[in-house]
Amino acid sequence: MQKRKLGKSNLEVSALGLGCMGMSFSYKPFPEKKDVIALLRAAVERGVTFFDTAEVYGPFTNEDLVGEALSPVRDRVVIATKFGFDINPDGSQGGKGLNSRPEHIKQACEGSLKRLKTDVIDLYYQHRVDPDVPIEDVAGAVKELIQEGKVKHFGMSEAAPQTIRRAHAVQPVTALQSEYSLWYRTPEAEVIPTLEELGIGFVPYSPLGKGFLTGKIDASTTFDKTDIRSIIPRFTPEARKANQALVDLLGSIAKQKKATPAQIALAWLLAQKPWIVPIPGTTKLHRLEENIGSVAIELSVDDLQQIESAAAKIPVEGARYPEQLEKMTGR
Which positions are catalytic? Answer: 57
Indicate the residue type of 231.
Answer: I
Residue 280 near residue 16 (C-beta atoms within 8 A): yes
In whole angstroms, what is the distance from residue 28 CA to residue 200 CA? 33
Find the DSSP H helices in 55-176.
61-70, 102-115, 135-147, 161-170
Reduced to 3 states (helix: H, G, I; strand: E, B; else coil), residue 45 is: helix
CB atoms inside a 10 Å sphere around CB 253: 22
**How far is it, in rounded angstroms, from Cα 229 to Cα 234?**
8
Task: Enumerate the β-bridge partners of residue 49.
Answer: none
Sign of CA dihedral 25, 30, 34, 37: negative
The string of DSSP letters for 240-298 reads HHHHHHHHHHHHHHHHHHT--HHHHHHHHHHHH-TTB----B-S-HHHHHHHHHGGGPP
Residue type, position 324, single letter: Q
- Bridge partners, 155 (sequence order): 125, 175
